[in-house]
A = this chain, B = another copy of it.
Amino acid sequence: MRNINENTITLAVVDSMSATKDARLRTVMTSLVQHLHSFAREVKLTEDEWAKAIDFLTAVGNITDDKRQEFILLSDTLGLSMLVTAQNNKKPAQCTEATVFGPFYVHGAPEYANGGDISNGASGEPCFVSGRILGVDGSPVTSARIDVWQSDQEGFYDVQIVPTSPTTPEHRARGRLRSAADGAFHFRSILAEAYPIPHDGPVGELLEALGRHPWRPAHLHFMITAPGYETLVTHIFRNGDKYLDSDAVFGVRSSLVADWVRHEPGVAPDGTRVSSVHYTLNYDFVLNPVDDA
């Protein structure tokens, strides 16, 4: 460990972890160090570039707080999040595919009965969402917990907006429901729109330097949990969106693209009269049973 140079350093670091009690931690850190060093050697990373990387990570840390998670944005935009999601959620072909969790889920969203309006004051054209939660054999999954969250017509999630009124509800366009006895759920919300990921921070600067746009195609987030099934974290993407082929976070899977059907003013699916253009979306989710093995 005295004659450290650019070739001996990797083995020295790997050897230093030989007393690690947690075998999995040792495996992960050994691989991480080897790949990190291989990267630095392959591009012959300079000292200036190293210093810029430190400054960049420091800036990512500085902007991160309870409401903004720039490290997740970084992971998302480098495709790491989607890689981890994909390799840990391999399912039978008939199951609904998973995609990235994203940084905008929050705990404590309101509970709604089926038919409720989860927009809760968020701006946007009305949208009526319905579907079923099913097992792989098509049988209904009863009382599944359905978490849904989305941005408003300006492309902002509630947590990104400082309310202008003290009476503005904290949670808007997000909610929790349960599937009915026949596996069905339905709720009212607003039309999902494309939006840029937060790009006024270091990740936005990086995207600009890389010639990349920060946009995500319009989508609705779902997290569905039910006893005996793997938790499903996914989105439904809006067919026709111009960013479907260039999602800034690489989350699009063809099987998750669905039609939002446009309707003129009239009677909505829930029997109410809607005086404006509105939309309907219907999508069935198929859960993967937990492997008992």
Contact = CB atoms under 8 A, between A and B. Distances in A.
Nearest to A79: B13
Interface string A205-227: 00001111000000000000000
A109 interface: no
A72 interface: yes
Interface string A1-36: 111111001101100111111100111110111011
Q: How many copies of the chain does the oligomer comprise? A: 2
B1 A83 contact: no
Contacts of A58: 61, 64, 69, 71
A76 to B, nearest CB: 11
Contacts of A83: 6, 9-10, 37, 40-41
B57 A71 contact: yes
Interface stretch (A84-92, A120-128, A140-148, A160-168): A84-92
Contacts of A10: 79, 83
Given A2-B254, A4-B252, A210-B16, A50 B80 contact: yes
Contacts of A72: 54
Nearest to A1: B245
B210 A2 contact: no
A49 interface: yes
B80 A37 contact: yes
Given A58-B69, A211-B17, A250-B1, A27 B43 contact: yes
Nearest to A61: B61
Name the prevailing secondary structure of the A interface residues: helix
Contacts of A49: 28
Nearest to A33: B78
A162 to B, nearest CB: 22
Contact of A257 (B2, B20, B44): B2
Chain B CB within 10 Å, residue with most, of A33, A45, A50, A84: A84
25 contacts: A2-B257, A13-B250, A16-B212, A17-B211, A17-B212, A19-B212, A25-B209, A27-B43, A28-B43, A32-B78, A33-B78, A33-B79, A36-B78, A37-B80, A40-B80, A44-B88, A45-B84, A47-B85, A50-B75, A50-B81, A50-B84, A57-B57, A58-B71, A61-B64, A61-B71
Interface of A: 1-6, 9-10, 12-13, 16-22, 25-29, 31-33, 35-47, 49-50, 54, 57-58, 60-62, 64, 69, 71-72, 75, 78-88, 209-212, 244-247, 250-254, 257
